[in-house]
Amino acid sequence: MFTKTRLVLFIGLCLIAAAAFAGYDMSRAATDEDEVTYLIGVSQANLTEPWRVAMNEEIAMAAAKHKNIRVIFTDAAQNSQKQKKDVDELLREGIDLLIISPHDAAELTPVVAKAYKKIPVIVLDRAVEGYDYSLYIGPDNKLIGRAAGNLTVDMLGSKGGNVIEIQGLSDSPPVRDRSDGFREVVEKHANIKIAGRIVADWQRDKAEDKTLELLARNPKIDMIFAHNDPMALGAYRAVKKLGRSDIKIIGVDGLSGEDGGLKLVRDGALQGTFTCPIGGKEAMQYAVDILHQEKGIPKKIILRSTKITADNLAEYLQQKQASEEIRPEKKRIVVGFSQVGAESVWRLANSESIKNAASAAKIELRFSEGNQHQDKQIADIRTFIKDGVDVIAFSPVVEYGWDEVLGEAKAAGIPVIISDRTINIDDDRLYTTFIGADFVEEGRKAARWLVDTLPGNNPVNIIELCGTNGSAPAIGRKMGFEEILTAHANFRIMGSETANFTRTEGKKTMLEFLHEFGKDIHVVFAHNDDMALGAIEAIDEYGLRPGQDILVVSVDATKQAFSAIMSGKLNCTVECTPLLGPELMKAIKDYSIGKKLPIKIITAEGIFTKKNAAQEYQWRKY
């Protein structure tokens, strides 16, 4: 095996080859042997797609800014077996960190997990199964599909029309998600019909040939949605060959360059495209932070996609250029934070984390509590706007009703960060990023544990204690829990009521269910630990044994929950960390120097039972 110093010539050649795509000088980085501190391996799924070539270019350009970092690039050539060998070879070469964009997420999951046991791993573009990696960075492909659906609806108008969908590799995760999101929107409109689907494997020429074939069979097509810009270009060439000028075409990628989506929109070949952020630059930025053991590293980064049409192309290019300029750090940053309230142990720990992290980062924090009332939070945000703070952050009590006040913040030029709970608004440009948990995945985890714990076909009756009506955690956890149970007909939610995330209401609501259903209840699923602890008190009072006669599953993983697990009264708790302060302050400082923030920053989440609760209990801070 080569040492790091002996590897430099080889790595330099790899960097020069990658840099050739971007046309910049890598000679110093390739020859300065004595400065090598870190080796980073990049395992790319293929280099046939322009989007992936651009990803490698971004990584190489970002790496060139760090004289002590060297990068080795490998190309799996659309072959999972080759990619597995590539990763094994990179590990043998002694890399300090792996960046991988998997050809097949499921097939590459074991090799990523194996690498993660040895070194940090950043997964790009396609998420592997489970959480055995340091960080995932990628787009929200379902959101891109929905956005494409909305643009299709707008462009076809009240008249409607027939649409062709051109997909990439059959059954790949991006294809499934983009198609699901697209159909979710257009199928709500009876005047729009998806008249044909083409699988073109992300390739321009294949898209051109298959579009010609489809249009020959069915010429009554009004619009084409292609899952990437090269396929959209292929469709445009087919349409042009047929002498058609009446078919609108939109794509995805939004790359610059001769055949990139931005130029195609400018030239009128495409009526629109959606940026699918590459993530190479972000991967290198976070790789450096991970190697330097920086605080506030999240588990997932979901990159923001932007709709590009002729109407906003110039504005987008101007903003893109400005976002690449790093500014000096401000000496004084003032942040206004509106907290939802103090309804639980989790929330108190969340508030404490934010205050402590602000103090450590030397950020001036103006903290207010909404006391579970949206009107109070809106008033607090308006006070922050009036005071001219640098950043506004808040944890919303409910998902809806924020458009107006966030519009006021945007008009004032104040960026807004959403913390812990998501919001639902028409224009996601009204906020900069969301920092928190994946609530749907938390619900899924709780249901998966339950299904694995109670195998077989015996009936399982479940009581669900929900969080505050309209809140993002309640909506997401319920959605994820029910999603998993739909595949298991013997699991039935026999009662579902809100208990507002509080222990008192959790007990009261559970007592009502016990008096109604009694011993027919087999499981309680509570949307947080406080409600679960209240339910445990109710089960005890009723004369049944919580954790035995009735299994109890919850979300949060607080210290009190661990105590209940160790005493045998709580069976499982899914982690939703309240310690979001470091991530929030890192995002604020990154934004203040001009770094572009992703649309979502997702924290790490574990799952705890009697097997591992005692081990974690002593370290729990909340």
pLDDT tens digits, one per residue of 153-183: 999 999 999 999 999 988 888 899 999 999 9
> Which of 430, 374, 367 minimizes the C-alpha distance to 397?
374
DSSP state of 322: H
Number of other residues whose CB lies within 10 A of the CB of residue 212: 16
Tell me if residue 100 falls in helix, strand or coil.
strand
Q: Which domains does the chain have, with CATH numbers?
A: 4-125+279-294 (3.40.50.2300), 141-277+315-322 (3.40.50.2300), 329-437+579-604 (3.40.50.2300), 439-576 (3.40.50.2300)
Q: What are the tens digits of pLDDT across the range 461-481?
A: 999 999 999 898 999 999 999
- Per-residue pLDDT, 594: 86
Contacts of 370 (CB under 8 A, 6+ apart): 338, 339, 340, 341, 376, 377, 380, 397
- Per-residue pLDDT, 323: 64
For residue 528, the surrounding DSSP H or E stretch is none
> Which of 201, 263, 599, 613 minimizes the C-alpha distance to 431?
599
Asked if 596 and 405 count as a contact pair (C-beta separation under 8 A), the reply is no
Asked if 304 and 599 count as a contact pair (C-beta separation under 8 A), the reply is yes
Contacts of 66 (CB under 8 A, 6+ apart): 284, 288
Question: Nearest-5° angle of CA 243, CA 248, CA 252?
Answer: 120
- Per-residue pLDDT, 25: 33
- Per-residue pLDDT, 106: 86
Tell me: pLDDT of 27 over 80.
no
User: Which tokens hold the place of 605?
Assistant: 């989440």
The C-alpha atoms of residue 38 and residue 71 are separated, in whole angstroms, by: 9
Amino acid at 521: I
Tell me: pLDDT of 30 over 70.
no
Asked if 583 and 606 count as a contact pair (C-beta separation under 8 A), the reply is no
DSSP state of 550: B
> Which of 540, 597, 158 minimizes the C-alpha distance to 415?
597
Q: What is the largest CA-CA distance in the chain?
A: 79
Asked if 422 and 143 count as a contact pair (C-beta separation under 8 A), the reply is no
Asked if 45 and 80 count as a contact pair (C-beta separation under 8 A), the reply is no
Q: What are the tens digits of pLDDT across the range 91-124?
A: 999 999 999 999 988 899 999 999 999 999 999 9
pLDDT exceeding 70 applies to what percent of the chain?
Answer: 94
- Per-residue pLDDT, 326: 67
Mean pLDDT computed over 395-409: 95
Tell me: pLDDT of 10 over 50.
no
Tell me: pLDDT of 28 over 60.
no
Mean pLDDT computed over 556-574: 96
How confident is the prediction for the chain on average, in pLDDT? 91
The C-alpha atoms of residue 562 and residue 617 are separated, in whole angstroms, by: 6
For residues 170-196, b (16+ Cβ closer than 10 Å) or e, as one string?
Answer: eebbbbebbbebbeebbeeeeebebbb
The C-alpha atoms of residue 477 and residue 482 are separated, in whole angstroms, by: 9
The C-alpha atoms of residue 22 and residue 60 are separated, in whole angstroms, by: 9
Least confident of 188-192, 426-430, 550-554: 426-430
Q: Is residue 350 exposed (0-12), middle (13-18) or buried (19+ Cβ within 10 Å)?
A: buried
Number of other residues whose CB lies within 10 A of the CB of residue 201: 16
Pairs from 385-390 (Cβ < 8 Å, separation ≥ 24): 385/409, 385/412, 385/414, 387/334, 387/336, 388/412, 388/414, 389/334, 389/335, 389/336, 389/414, 390/330, 390/333, 390/334, 390/335, 390/414, 390/592
Mean pLDDT computed over 11-40: 49
Measured over the CA atoms of residue 370, residue 371, residue 375 and residue 379, the dihedral's sign is negative
Q: What are the tens digits of pLDDT across the range 410-427?
A: 999 999 999 998 898 988
User: Which residues on neighbouring strands pair with residue 416, listed in sequence order?
Assistant: 392
User: Which tokens hold the place of 616?
Assistant: 């974690």
Asked if 33 and 5 count as a contact pair (C-beta separation under 8 A), the reply is yes
- Per-residue pLDDT, 329: 76
- Per-residue pLDDT, 527: 98
Measured CA to CA in angstroms, residue 220 lies from 67, 213, 238 at distances of 57, 13, 15
Q: What are the tens digits of pLDDT across the range 299-346?
A: 999 999 999 999 999 999 988 776 666 677 778 999 999 999 998 888
> Which one has a higher pLDDT value, 418 or 6?
418
DSSP state of 512: H
The C-alpha atoms of residue 483 and residue 471 are separated, in whole angstroms, by: 18
Tell me: pLDDT of 29 over 50.
no
Cα-to-chain-centroid distance, residue 309: 25
- Per-residue pLDDT, 1: 40
Tell me: pLDDT of 19 over 70.
no
Tell me: pLDDT of 33 over 70.
no
Number of other residues whose CB lies within 10 A of the CB of residue 330: 12
The C-alpha atoms of residue 275 and residue 273 are separated, in whole angstroms, by: 7
Tell me: pLDDT of 445 over 90.
yes
